[in-house]
């Protein structure tokens, strides 16, 4: 069977008598076609009207059949006619060849060479010489353009060509991000950073957009991952990046970028992309130097711009990026959070969050935006001043309504309330929460009655929701005044329906204990390995404790803290809890053991002052030990 016939493409029917390229053109034919294509058409004046066009003379050579046969033997001596069969070998000296005949290799070389004719060598290598040439090209283009603009300010036709050259020269710098260790030191040494930053103020917005795109590319956290060798030290690339960022900051890059954002019109695609790149630069710089988040918020007008941008009714990439950046700059800065409050940011965040009370995000991108809005609010609520603003803006009532409606925002509302009620500064929030009928929806979430409207939606895990619900209950027990109506209503929840809420706590405790046992076994194996090797395990204790918290200890501590409170305040709950613990071969001693670990690792309270978390735990432990 002839295999070639099975895969041979049938020829199309001939539609005309035009000459066609053979199925296997020779290199000579391709070279001739290339020459004919690039040559100019003959001038009409060189040929008289009555004369026929000149014909090319052909030189005919006669060759003997024996010579042709000898050449054929020489060319086909290798298997398959492979031209390089005996010239290509591997590291062990074995010859394989490329599987191509000399004629096929010549054809491929013609096409490869044609594609590389216009590409300079220094763009391929990006050596130090190439970098210098690129920078010199930008410098000359910028100088020429500035000179022509100064000489002919009212005649754009005089400087439009130099502006196009400048645009091309700036874009040619984009590949520098592939070799930061080579390019960035030279860029800094040449002094061109200042010149490039200065072009942000260029009269032509397109030039400013080119600079924005270039800086965004150069400051990306992954610079050099593709262009340099895999064996290069990532620390060297990071050092080069930080050096460049330092020089950019010396020339007020943050302030200039924020000012440029006012020039861009987001109804235009190029300007909209420019805004996206500016936000990306801010994220890159803050990611490399987190302490710059305060400079970005306190020394520029970025925060008002972000708050205005997230209020857009139409969701797009820039709105989503604005929400993400807002969440980033609020994470670890008290100053930025206070500034948010002074700029009415709490009210703005609540307005945006309210959009998702009765509807879910349209897609995954908008869902991520909603998540960032709630995360920004949660970060801000760390500060007592923001908790007061949250109350004044009726944030508690909005969150309770979201819990009631059971859309995707329900889980985020529970998380927000957990942050708002935490610590002693959350006492007012706890009282308003009970008054707003929040207990009903809180315990509905605790019992696992999830939303039925958001089928297929990406929602937090049940364990995450449970963690925040337990956090709210814990804060309520810590902050609500003794014998107050609100506290009595809370305790009643654990008694109703034959102690079903108390039983739910014990179920959660068992699940958390099982998870923790697995982690404890893993840590014990690691600890024994350390001891056998004669290594000190004290340095690992903190890491192991964090692993235990993530592995179930945090949930276990919160559950036992709640359980200790309700057992101490209600005799019926105490008897029921004691009986249920006995069914799992547990007792109040196990609860005491958990609370002791909790107390010993508290760092926020350095003393046993009245009302402190440490003092509360001390009293709860004392009561359980006497029960």
Helix extents (H) in 152-268? 160-171, 180-189, 192-198, 205-218, 234-250, 253-261
pLDDT of residue 607: 53
Residue 391, by phi and psi: left (phi above 0), alpha (psi -120 to 50) or beta?
A: alpha
The packing angle between helices 269-288 and 234-250, to 10°, is: 110
pLDDT, one tens digit per residue, over 257-310 is 999 998 999 999 999 999 999 999 999 999 999 999 999 999 999 999 999 999
Distance CA 250, CA 292 (A): 13
| Residue 128 confidence (pLDDT) above 70 | yes
Provide mean pLDDT across the span 448-472. Answer: 66
Distance CA 539, CA 527 (A): 11
pLDDT of residue 157: 86
Candidates 343, 369, 352, 208; CA nearest to 281 is 208
| Residue 453 confidence (pLDDT) above 50 | no
Candidates 334, 320, 414, 449; CA nearest to 381 is 334
Distance CA 605, CA 377 (A): 25
pLDDT of residue 333: 95
Cα torsion 305, 311, 316, 320 to 10°: value is: 70
DSSP-assigned states of every residue in 552-583: IIHHHHHHHHHHHHHHHH-HHHHHHHHHHHHH
**Most confident listed range (120-124, 330-334, 623-627):** 330-334
**Confidence class for position 6, pLDDT limits 50, 70, 90:** very low
Could you tell me if 515 and 552 are in contact, meaning their C-beta atoms sit under 8 angstroms apart?
Answer: yes
Provide mean pLDDT across the span 14-42. Answer: 48
- Residue corresponding to tokens 């060509």: 161
**Confidence class for position 45, pLDDT limits 50, 70, 90:** very low
Comparing 56-65, 129-138, 506-515, the range with the smallest average pLDDT is 56-65
pLDDT, one tens digit per residue, over 164-219 is 999 999 999 999 999 999 999 999 999 999 999 999 999 999 999 999 999 999 99
- Which two structure tokens, joined as six digits, stand for 299? 């020394």
pLDDT of residue 362: 93
Provide mean pLDDT across the span 557-580. Answer: 95
| Residue 430 confidence (pLDDT) above 80 | yes
Distance CA 400, CA 436 (A): 7
- How far CA 454 is from CA of 279, 358, 407, 450, in Å, comes to 32, 11, 6, 9
**Confidence class for position 26, pLDDT limits 50, 70, 90:** low
Comparing 137-141, 175-179, 461-465, 510-514, the range with the smallest average pLDDT is 461-465
pLDDT of residue 235: 83
pLDDT of residue 95: 47
Candidates 202, 429, 64; CA nearest to 169 is 202
The distance from CA 193 to its chain's CA centroid, rounded to whole angstroms, is 27
| Residue 159 confidence (pLDDT) above 80 | yes
| Residue 401 confidence (pLDDT) above 70 | yes
Distance CA 623, CA 617 (A): 10
Distance CA 392, CA 86 (A): 85
SS3 assignment, position 185: helix
pLDDT, one tens digit per residue, over 335-393 is 999 999 999 999 999 999 999 999 999 999 999 999 999 999 999 999 999 999 999 99
- Which two structure tokens, joined as six digits, stand for 437? 């009928």
Distance CA 393, CA 404 (A): 19
pLDDT of residue 36: 44
**Confidence class for position 109, pLDDT limits 50, 70, 90:** low
pLDDT of residue 2: 52
Q: Mean pLDDT score of the chain, rounded to an integer? A: 83
**pLDDT higher for 108 or 544?**
544
CA angle 344, 411, 560 (to 5 degrees): 110
Share of the chain above pLDDT 90, in %: 65
**Confidence class for position 580, pLDDT limits 50, 70, 90:** very high
Distance CA 454, CA 381 (A): 27
């Amino acid at each position: 069977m002839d295999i070639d016939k099975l895969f041979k493409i049938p020829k199309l029917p001939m539609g005309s008598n035009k000459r066609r390229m053979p199925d296997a053109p020779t290199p000579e034919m391709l070279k001739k076609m290339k020459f004919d294509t690039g040559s100019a058409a003959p001038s009409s004046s060189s040929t008289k009207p009555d004369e026929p066009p000149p014909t090319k003379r052909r030189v005919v050579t006669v060759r003997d059949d024996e010579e042709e046969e000898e050449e054929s033997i020489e060319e086909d001596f290798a298997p398959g006619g492979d031209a390089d069969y005996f010239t290509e070998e591997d590291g062990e000296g074995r010859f394989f060849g490329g599987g191509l005949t000399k004629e096929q290799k010549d054809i491929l070389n013609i096409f490869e060479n044609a594609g590389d004719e216009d590409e300079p060598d220094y763009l391929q290598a990006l050596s130090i010489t190439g970098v210098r040439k690129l920078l010199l090209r930008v410098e000359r283009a910028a100088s020429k353009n500035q000179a022509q603009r100064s000489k002919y300010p009212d005649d754009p036709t005089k400087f439009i060509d130099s502006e196009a050259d400048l645009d091309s020269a700036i874009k040619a710098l984009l590949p520098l991000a592939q070799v930061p260790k080579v390019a960035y030191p030279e860029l800094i040494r040449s002094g061109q950073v200042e010149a490039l930053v200065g072009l942000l103020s260029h009269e032509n917005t397109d030039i400013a957009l080119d600079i924005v795109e270039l800086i965004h590319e150069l400051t990306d956290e992954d610079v050099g991952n593709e262009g340099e060798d895999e064996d290069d030290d990532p620390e060297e690339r990071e050092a080069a990046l930080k050096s460049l960022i330092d020089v950019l900051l010396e020339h007020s890059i943050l302030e200039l970028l924020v000012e440029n954002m006012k020039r861009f019109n987001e109804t235009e695609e190029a300007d909209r992309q420019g805004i996206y790149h500016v936000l990306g630069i801010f994220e890159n710089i803050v990611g490399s130097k987190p302490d710059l988040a305060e400079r970005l918020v306190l020394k520029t007008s970025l925060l008002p711009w972000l708050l205005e941008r997230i209020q857009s009714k139409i969701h797009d990439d820039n709105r989503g990026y604005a929400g993400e950046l807002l969440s980033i700059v609020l994470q670890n800065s008290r100053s930025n959070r206070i500034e948010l409050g002074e700029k009415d940011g709490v009210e703005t965040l609540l307005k945006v969050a309210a959009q998702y009370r009765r509807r879910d995000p349209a897609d995954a991108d908008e869902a991520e935006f909603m998540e960032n809005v709630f995360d920004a609010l949660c970060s801000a609520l760390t500060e007592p001043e923001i908790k007061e603003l949250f109350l004044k803006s009726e944030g508690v009532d909005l969150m309770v309504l979201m819990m009631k409606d059971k859309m995707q925002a329900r889980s985020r509302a529970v998380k927000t309330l957990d942050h708002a009620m935490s610590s002693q500064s959350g006492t007012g929030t706890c009282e308003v929460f009970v008054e707003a009928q929040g207990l009903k929806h809180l315990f509905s979430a605790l019992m696992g009655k999830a939303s039925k409207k958001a089928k297929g939606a990406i929602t937090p895990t049940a364990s995450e929701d449970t963690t925040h619900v337990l956090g709210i209950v814990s804060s309520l027990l810590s902050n609500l005044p003794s014998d107050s109506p609100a506290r009595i209503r809370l305790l009643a929840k654990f008694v109703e329906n034959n102690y079903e809420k108390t039983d739910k706590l014990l179920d959660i405790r068992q699940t958390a204990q099982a998870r923790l046992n697995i982690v404890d076994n893993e840590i014990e194996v690691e600890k024994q390995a350390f001891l056998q090797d004669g290594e000190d395990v004290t340095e690992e204790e903190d890491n192991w404790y964090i692993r235990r918290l993530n592995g179930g200890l945090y949930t276990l501590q919160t559950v036992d803290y709640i359980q200790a409170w309700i057992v101490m305040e209600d005799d019926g709950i105490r008897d029921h809890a004691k009986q249920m613990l006995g069914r799992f071969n547990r007792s109040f001693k196990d609860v005491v053991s958990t609370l002791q670990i909790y107390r010993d690792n508290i760092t926020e309270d350095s003393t046993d002052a009245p009302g402190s978390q440490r003092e509360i735990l001390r009293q709860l432990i004392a009561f359980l030990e006497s029960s």
